[in-house]
Structure 1
Amino acid sequence: MAKITGETRLENVLVYMANMGRELIVADRCTVWLIDEAKQEVYTTVAHGVREIRIPAGTGLVGHAIASGEPIIIEDAYLDPRHNPDNDRKTGYVSKSIITIPFRNNDGTVIGAYQAINKMTETAKFTSKDMELLSLAASYAGKSLESVMLHQEIVDTQREIIATMGEIGEMRSKETGNHVKRVAEYSYVLALALGLSPKEAELLRTVSPMHDIGKVGIPDAVLNKPGKLTDEEYEIIKSHTRIGRQLLKGSRRELLRAASIVAEQHHEKWDGGGYPNGLKGEEIHVYGRITAVADVFDALSAERVYKAAWPLERIERLFREERGKHFDPAVVDAFFAKLPQLLDIRERLTDKG
């Protein structure tokens, strides 16, 4: 149970819950069911031995248990008219003894159910003691699950806001939303190639669409000028990095803190010649160094108001020349190592004419 309270990732909590239930009452399988209010269904989030199962709300043993809020224990599923044998027929599995326990949130509302199948003892029957144990586990786990689900909802909302704001930034400069999507995917691949953890790589993929959010503060006449910029206009363009940081700084949320780093540092250069702060080498956060390569690769690959798309050979030549100058050598090496994968992403997320 300690694993459940210490975990913030929903999928991990659900796995821990299923494993705990199975071991606690010596069942062959344990399933965690949740309610999909929008579709009026209940569905398995974790089910030992099978893929996701969905059934209409109020049907099957689990549907009845959730609807009534009362546990159900039976010795032979096929003698109970509430049992739905469809999934057994699909999988070849034979359900016999079943125990189903609804679990509730802190307000006492039923939010799902445990379902343990086939008691793995000589009697092959669940007992009132099993019901008591699983009910205690359900009571404990349900409240922990609610906290994690609320945390996940907050994270998902932040991600949606970040993705939308990133696209708004690109729309200001008449780019497509696919630019930020490609940069996000490139950044994820490069982060993994550099040895960042999957969690950090996913974090960078989520926040990298915000790299140019500061463009919302740049006048259209400068942002979309088709000709060469004056020195004064270039300084205005460069200010989008500081504007981006100003928009995002100060948050205690991990996602927004990371987005602030990317927005401010993606134009810094390895040799110290970048902006806005002239950071050098590893003074530049790895998120900024990765996004710099991802952003430049996509910018050069795409046709923009001020230039034609570059051929791949010319892009490769530039990255070789700028290795250790504009770009972190390790990120450039990762770029070449993963170039086929990056090209696949570019093709998949191409801008439609």
Structure 2
Amino acid sequence: MRGTGVHYGVVTCDACKAFYHRNYGKRGMPMCAKNGACDVTGTARSLCQRCRMTKCQDVGMSKLPSIPQNMTAERSPGHAIHLQDIHNNLLEDDILSAHEQKLTSIHYVSRSVIAAIQHQYEKQQVLDRKLTRCVPASCEDPASRGVAQADLSSLLCQVHADIAATDLEKNILRYISYLKAIPGFGKMSTNDKCQLLKYGHFDFFLLEDYPGFNEALNVYCTSSLSCRPIQELNDLWGTEFVNEVVRFTQRLKHLNMTLKEIIFAELICVLATDRCSLSEPDIVNAVQWQMVNILLTHLQATYMHPMRRFAKLMDMVADMRKLSEWYSDITRRLCQTSVSVQKRTLLMEMFNV
């Protein structure tokens, strides 16, 4: 039966509240015929009084004065307490606060502001290209005339790769700081924390950064609100992969997720136990289920059909996993071939999975 409130310190139904009230301290309670091995659930809970009382005590029911006795919606309108809801609300507040304090997130900027910055950047780019075409050949730097076009292109690719790698390194530091503040993360083993950080960072950053991608203008906006051509990302990650990422960001935009949906979807992705080797997966799984429950609570309060919305979000998470695996293949290769990655110890550590 569904809990109706806090009774003797524990969320219970009215039937268990009444049973505990009648039988607390009662002498002569019948012995258990199964030596304390009865199933005290559902309709079977009334078959053995001894085991039912034992379970009441095991879950924490008490008549001590310091324990809240009876607080229900019927007796105290507007003051019903559900311990799990209270716990989830506290967790949610801690996580939202950590997200705001630890991350420079583009989600705190309105979409209209992002669009205005991107359009202004594109106008400036168009103007720069026109001015470049108007420069007379005699005005060119003599020292640059001997530079082969191929060499210049290679140099630009290296510069773009360095910019992308530097941005990623800064974001990873903020990402690590944020996850350390998540309730339950600190209780995990060092190995498990490192594995989750490595395998989950792509999903996390894609959900963090997707509003900044503008496929029509072919630019992306960083969390610091600086704009760059998407072409620059190609020089580190490859055109085919970047094009697929950009298409996926458009799909994410169509979902029109709330900030809470984004934050808890990020954490559900990072805390996935099925894509890396963990020493204590049960601990990680317990924290992940807390995130799932908080997300479900938010969906129930926000949507008419919360489970349909949840299914859409989980489909999105599953499809994002395919991109994440592709990303892992690329990063392993970059550890062997990219100077931009090799000279950054943090990236080498994160990419060697």
TM over 0.5: no
Report which of the two has the higher share of strand. Answer: 1
Max radius of gyration: which structure? Answer: 2
TM-score, structure 1 length as denominator? 0.28
Q: Which has the higher contact order (CA 8 A, sep 6+)?
A: 2
TM-score, structure 2 length as denominator? 0.28
